[in-house]
Structure 1
Amino acid sequence: MKILIVGGNGTIGKVVANHFKNDHEVLIAGRTSGDVTVNIAESSSITAMFEKTGKLDAIICIAGEAKWAPFQELSEEDYYIGLKSKLMGQVNLVRIGQKYLNEGGSITLTTGILADDPVIKTASASMVNGGIHSFAQAASLEIENGIRLNVVSSGMVEDAYEKYKSYFPGHNPIPMSKVINGYARSVLGKGNGEIIRIYS
């Protein structure tokens, strides 16, 4: 398969990319580096990226940002960071990317445990993750050409534990092997409209 991984140079993305490279052609998209570059907050950039990649069999997005800050300090503009990047960025990857997928292709989005089990300073990030879950479940009912749409939602991964452990007291770090399996299930399986939760 020809697989595009948006965010394939990140903490999770590079591990997932290395896994799929064993058996598939993998293209990496990043904001500043990769086989192609993209700013998912801009639809024109997404379209330009797909024009360069050509037809694909699978799209995986492991990208998007949202503001982490105490609820009382979040401004309206702070919320728009996550809405424009992680939420609408992934929505637009589906909206535009479906046209560049071969019949029976798949799209995999990424959220995280905050959608179901938020911690402090994540009012914006949790809202965005929950919105992506609802979007994917609804859009999967109508997406055409045999294309499947799923979401991988992981807890704090082992490779990011030292950086984020103070935010997640008592949470068990998720082994990267389990995270990889979530993406493999989405891309290689037959599920559609699934939220693949990897929380333990």
Structure 2
Amino acid sequence: MKIVVIGATGIIGKAVVQALSPRHSIIQVGRSGGEYQVDLASKNSIQNLFEAIAPFDAVVSAAGEARFNPLESLSDEDFQFSLSNKLMGQVNLVRVGLPYINDNGSFTLTSGVLTTEPMLGSAAISLVNAGLEGFMRAAALEAPRGIRVNVVSPPWVTETLATMGKDVSRGMPAARVAAAYLEAVESQRTGEVLDARLF
């Protein structure tokens, strides 16, 4: 399959590319790196990307930024940034991508463990993740031509914790997280949240 990986230069994205590459043709997309670039906060940028690389069989998003701050210090701008990037950016991958993806193709988006296991400072991220999962379930019902839509929910990733100077013992290596993306792309699942800890 011809698979577009958004966020291909990130920690999870690199692992997803490595997992998919042996059996598929991968187009690597990043914010500033990769073969192509995209700004998830810009619908026009997404449109231009898909026009340049279509048609394709699958889109995997391991991208999207959201702000992590205590509730009382989260500003309107923090919420808007989070909604525009991680939520609407990934929603628009599906909305804009539908005309460009092949029959029986798939979209795999990324939420995260903070949807169901929130922590101090995660209000904006938890909001975005929950919204994305709700969108996915509804979009999967309406997607035409056998197109599937799923979300992978990763836990804290070992490599991310290491870069933050945090305890890595509670993390999961990106290579293991990538197994859930492989399942989402290669199976017939649709309308599901795949908890990466289960793969």
TM-score after normalising by structure 2 = 0.95
Which aligned pairs between 1:128-167 and structure 2 lie closer than 5 A? Answer: 128-164=128-164, 166=166
> Which whole-Å CA distance do the structure 1 matches of 2:24 and 2:189 have between them?
20
> Which whole-Å CA distance do the structure 2 matches of 1:64 and 1:23 have between them?
26
The amino acid across from 1:158 in the alignment is T
CA contact (8 A) 1:138 1:193 kept: yes
What is aligned with 1:190? 188
- Unaligned 5+ segments in structure 1 are none
> Which whole-Å CA distance do the structure 1 matches of 2:168 and 2:39 have between them?
35
Which aligned pairs between 1:51-200 and structure 2 lie closer than 5 A? Answer: 51-164=51-164, 166=166, 172-199=170-197
> Which whole-Å CA distance do the structure 1 matches of 2:15 and 2:138 have between them?
29
- Unaligned 5+ segments in structure 2 are none
CA contact (8 A) 1:113 1:199 kept: no
> Which whole-Å CA distance do the structure 2 matches of 1:176 and 1:60 have between them?
15
The amino acid across from 1:27 in the alignment is I
Deviation sequence 1:14-37 (CA, Å, 0-9, x none): 111012111111001111121111
Cα shift at 1:75 = 1.0
Change (3 A) 1:164 1:129: farther
What is aligned with 1:13? 13
Cα shift at 1:175 = 3.0
C-alpha RMSD of matched pairs (Å): 1.6
CA contact (8 A) 1:36 1:52 kept: no
Cα shift at 1:161 = 2.2
Which has the larger displacement, 103-112 or 152-161?
A: 152-161
> Which whole-Å CA distance do the structure 1 matches of 2:26 and 2:133 have between them?
25
CA contact (8 A) 2:161 2:168 kept: no
Identity of matched residues, %: 38
> Which whole-Å CA distance do the structure 2 matches of 1:72 and 1:164 have between them?
23
CA contact (8 A) 2:16 2:175 kept: no
Deviation sequence 1:5-60 (CA, Å, 0-9, x none): 00000011011101211111100111112111110101100000001111000000
